[in-house]
Structure formats: structure tokens, C-alpha cells
């Protein structure tokens, strides 16, 4: 079967962005890392912004802020590579789902493998190419403007730094008299522009990745849940992996979820870092304070320890710091991925599978009754085997265990980022959500 190239299938209608996300992932990662080092880390050292000592002795320089000095040369390239691998896996999955040499599950209206489905999908995804980049660019600029609203005024009003802005490397030219950047306001300003241009670009690419994943999944769910003419989903009941033939989508989920969890880990770390910066703590000082407050003794039970976390004073939850845009913006940005993965496609797939499994189970029960009344043991055994497969089917194309692990991590990290002491409660909430999915998703036999 002749296959469309990745760019034709997933990024038809896109220009530079399409080329970026369909390039060699390791080359893109290497270039991104090199650019971060050459444009951020190296200039920070040369300008004297790498190590900036505050009045209380803390290092608030660029190199001490790992959300800048390590994230851009190391984490961002890894995320870009994983994003590209996600799109590559999308391409492979589409053709595996219609592969007539295997067991295709996307069929045309004649009951044959839908060989023209990739072309249909390509046209569907190309329809929104223009608005995706426009929306992503607008939102990225808006986020950066909100985040830096109190950064730029000092450069134009004589150096009056707003109270809301913590004194760090990005304003060092105004107050760090021991460094050679002191007084060189426009050097500091130029470096800030470059740094926040990197941040804006990262947000833009992240939004494109997220929206593109959502549009792909929306198109796939339209076939699975609605049987959009002229295509329909033909589930593989006796799938040895118990995924109704949707295993090819497994690594599409996995790569996407790894990207999201890595971003959430960064958001959690950044939240802790901002709390320490606003309170004037040493690095990780906030976590040390929380640990001392809840550190279990030899006679402390699990239930008592859980209650201790809930009895912490409101100040230890650092609610006030969420008013800082740098704290709540990462949270806002981490919500859509969870909604995308939980509501679409998992939400639609969950409802579809529950409905279909109940329908097929009822049909199997009727057929089993007939087979037993006619003493057709062969047919009875086949139906019993089908019922067992249905009961063991998971809604996760990447497998129940893997999918559940990611769900628990996402929910836990989200709650932990909002209220760090409740990280373990967040993990427990993810486990509860998994159990609810398991119970509600089981067909009645």
C-alpha cells in the first residue's frame, strides 16, 4: 500500500511548523539544545547574570534557576524529540489500523479495509492548519505578556521594580552592584528579550503539539464512536491484547503522556521554586519545612499521618503565591492536556466501549442460550470465549496498567502543584479515579 509521508498525513497545510515536527527528532533536539546554550547559558555567563547574589545571600542568578539554565538545554530538546516521535507514531498507527495483511479495524462502507482513510484524515487535519498556528501564537504571546507585565516597566521608568517582581537575574542591572552587569540596563534588557522569546516559542510549540494531537484524536474518535460515513470501526473482540484492535494507538498515547507528565514535573518543581523565591528561602527550603512539620515518628500510623497533612496551617499550602502569574499560568497550561486525554478520546472511547460491550454481551447471552438449547457445544464455547474477552477489555489503547499509571501521575501532580503538601492525596485521587473507571466500565454479564 502506498503511504502518505508524515508531513502529508499529519501536517498538510502547515509550513515551517510542519517541517519542524516531521524532521529527525534527534537532530532537532541537538539544534534546540545548542541554541539554548549559545543564546541563553553562554550570554548569561558573559554578561554576569549567571550568578547573582541577593541581599540575603541566596543565588538568584540565571544558572541557579534550573527552570531556565537546565530546562532549555536539556528538557525542552527532549520534549521536542518526544513530540516528533508522537507524530511519527500517529502515522504508523493509521496504516496499521487499516492493514489488510493483519486484522484491520477501520473499514469502509463495503466492509473492506479503508485504504483511502489516510487521505480522508489528511484532508480533515489540513482544514484547521491556519487557525491552529494563529491561536497558538496569540495565546503564547498573551501568556508571556501576563507573565512579564511587571518585568518591563523598570527599564523605562528609571529602575523602579514593582513589589510583585522578585529581584532576580532579569533585573540585576538595577540592583546587583557587585556584578559587572550593574548599570548596563540595556544589556540586561536585551538578554531578557531573548530569554522570554525562547519561553514564548516553547509555549507556542507546546500549544501546536496539544491542538494537533486533539484534532487527530477527534478525527479518530469520530470513526470509533460515531461510525462516520463512509468509515466504521470494526472492533476485534478476540484481541489477544484486550484492546479491541486499537493497540497501534498505544504508543501515540504513551509518547503524548510522557510529554505531559514531564511538563507537570517541571510545573511542580517551578511551583516549589517560586514559593522559595517569594519567601526568601534557601533552595528547596519550603519542602524541608513541610517535611519537618509532617515527619512521622515511630508510633505514627498511616491514618494519623494523613490527618497531619490536612492539619497544616493555610500558610503551608502557599495559596497566596498562586496569585503570581508565574505560578498559575503553568497550572492553566497543564489542565488542557488532562482534559484532552481524559475526555477525548478516553471519555468518548469509555462510553463507546461500555455501550458496545453491554450490547455485544447481551447478544452473546442470547446466542449462548440458543446454542445450549441446540446442544451446539462448539458455538457455546466460542461465545463464552468472546464474553471473557469483552470482560477483560480495557479502554486504554496503551494497556490498562500503563494508562492507569499515567492517569494517577497526572492527577497527583496536578493536585500537588496546586497544594504541594497534598501530592500524596493527589496520587490517591488518581487511584480512586482509576477504580471508578474500572467499575463503571465493566459490562454487566
Within 13 Å of residue 139, how many CA atoms lie on the same side as its CB? 18
DSSP state, residue 101: T
Q: Map out the domains of the chain as residue ranges.
A: 1-234, 245-445
Q: What is the pLDDT along the chain (445 residues), one digit of tens a residue?
A: 556 789 999 999 899 999 999 999 999 999 999 999 999 999 999 999 999 998 888 889 999 999 999 999 999 999 999 999 999 999 999 999 998 777 888 988 888 888 999 999 999 999 888 899 999 999 999 989 998 999 999 999 988 999 888 889 999 999 998 878 888 999 999 999 999 999 999 999 999 998 899 889 888 888 876 666 788 888 888 888 888 888 998 999 899 989 989 998 898 888 888 787 777 766 667 777 777 766 666 565 556 655 666 666 666 667 776 767 777 777 777 776 666 655 666 677 677 767 766 776 777 777 778 877 887 777 777 777 777 787 788 878 888 888 888 888 888 888 888 877 777 666 666 666 666 656 555 544 4
Q: Dihedral through CA 116, CA 118, CA 122, CA 124, nearest 10? A: 70
Per-residue CA distances from 175 to 36, 41, 154, 185, 344 (Å): 26, 21, 11, 10, 49
pTM of the model: 0.85
The answer for 184, left when phi > 0, alpha when psi is -120 to 50, beta otherwise, is: beta
Burial class (CB in 10 A: 0-12, 13-18, 19+), 252: buried
- For the chain, the 3-state helix, strand and coil shares in percent, each to the nearest 5, are 70, 0, 30
Among 145, 111, 344, which Cα is nearest to 230's?
111
Amino acid at each position: 500500500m502506498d503511504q502518505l509521508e508524515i508531513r502529508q498525513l499529519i501536517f498538510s497545510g502547515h509550513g515551517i511548523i510542519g517541517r519542524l515536527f516531521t524532521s529527525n527528532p534527534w537532530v532537532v533536539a541537538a539544534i534546540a539544545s545548542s541554541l539554548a546554550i549559545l543564546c541563553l547559558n553562554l550570554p548569561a555567563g558573559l554578561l554576569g547574570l549567571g550568578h547573582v547574589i541577593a541581599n540575603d545571600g541566596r543565588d538568584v542568578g540565571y544558572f541557579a534557576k534550573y527552570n531556565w539554565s537546565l530546562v532549555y538545554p536539556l528538557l525542552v530538546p527532549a520534549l521536542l524529540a518526544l513530540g516528533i516521535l508522537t507524530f511519527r507514531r500517529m502515522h504508523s498507527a493509521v496504516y496499521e489500523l487499516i492493514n489488510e495483511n493483519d486484522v484491520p479495524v477501520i473499514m469502509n462502507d463495503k466492509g473492506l479495509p479503508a485504504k483511502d482513510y489516510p487521505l480522508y484524515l489528511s484532508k480533515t487535519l489540513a482544514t484547521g492548519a491556519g487557525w491552529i498556528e494563529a491561536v497558538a501564537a496569540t495565546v503564547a504571546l498573551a501568556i508571556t505578556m501576563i507573565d512579564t507585565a511587571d518585568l518591563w516597566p523598570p527599564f523605562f521608568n528609571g529602575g523602579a521594580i514593582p513589589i510583585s517582581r522578585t529581584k532576580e537575574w532579569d533585573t540585576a542591572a538595577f540592583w546587583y552592584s557587585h556584578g559587572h552587569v550593574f548599570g548596563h540596563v540595556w544589556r540586561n534588557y536585551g538578554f531578557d528579550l531573548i530569554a522570554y522569546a525562547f519561553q514564548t516559542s516553547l509555549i507556542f510549540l507546546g500549544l501546536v503539539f496539544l491542538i494537533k494531537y486533539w484534532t487527530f484524536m477527534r478525527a479518530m474518535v469520530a470513526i470509533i464512536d460515531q461510525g462516520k460515513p463512509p468509515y466504521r470501526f470494526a472492533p476485534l473482540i478476540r484481541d489477544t491484547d484486550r484492546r479491541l484492535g486499537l493497540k497501534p494507538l498505544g504508543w501515540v498515547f504513551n509518547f503524548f503522556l510522557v510529554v505531559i507528565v514531564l511538563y507537570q514535573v517541571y510545573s511542580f518543581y517551578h511551583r516549589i521554586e517560586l514559593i522559595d523565591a517569594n519567601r526568601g528561602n534557601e533552595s528547596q527550603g519550603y519542602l524541608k519545612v513541610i517535611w519537618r512539620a509532617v515527619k512521622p515518628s515511630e508510633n505514627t500510623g498511616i491514618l494519623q499521618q494523613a490527618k497531619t497533612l490536612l492539619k497544616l496551617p493555610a500558610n503551608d499550602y502557599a495559596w497566596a503565591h498562586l496569585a503570581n502569574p508565574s505560578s498559575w499560568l503553568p497550572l492553566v497550561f497543564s489542565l488542557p492536556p488532562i482534559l484532552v486525554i481524559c475526555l477525548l478520546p478516553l471519555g468518548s472511547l469509555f462510553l463507546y466501549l461500555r455501550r458496545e460491550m453491554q450490547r455485544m454481551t447481551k447478544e452473546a447471552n442470547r446466542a449462548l442460550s440458543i446454542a445450549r438449547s441446540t446442544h451446539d457445544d462448539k458455538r457455546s464455547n466460542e461465545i463464552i470465549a468472546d464474553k471473557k474477552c469483552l470482560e477483560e477489555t480495557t479502554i486504554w489503547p496503551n494497556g490498562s496498567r500503563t494508562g492507569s499509571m499515567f492517569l494517577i501521575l497526572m492527577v497527583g501532580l496536578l493536585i500537588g502543584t496546586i497544594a504541594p503538601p497534598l501530592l500524596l492525596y493527589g496520587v490517591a485521587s488518581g487511584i480512586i479515579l482509576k477504580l471508578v473507571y474500572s467499575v463503571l466500565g465493566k459490562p454487566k454479564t
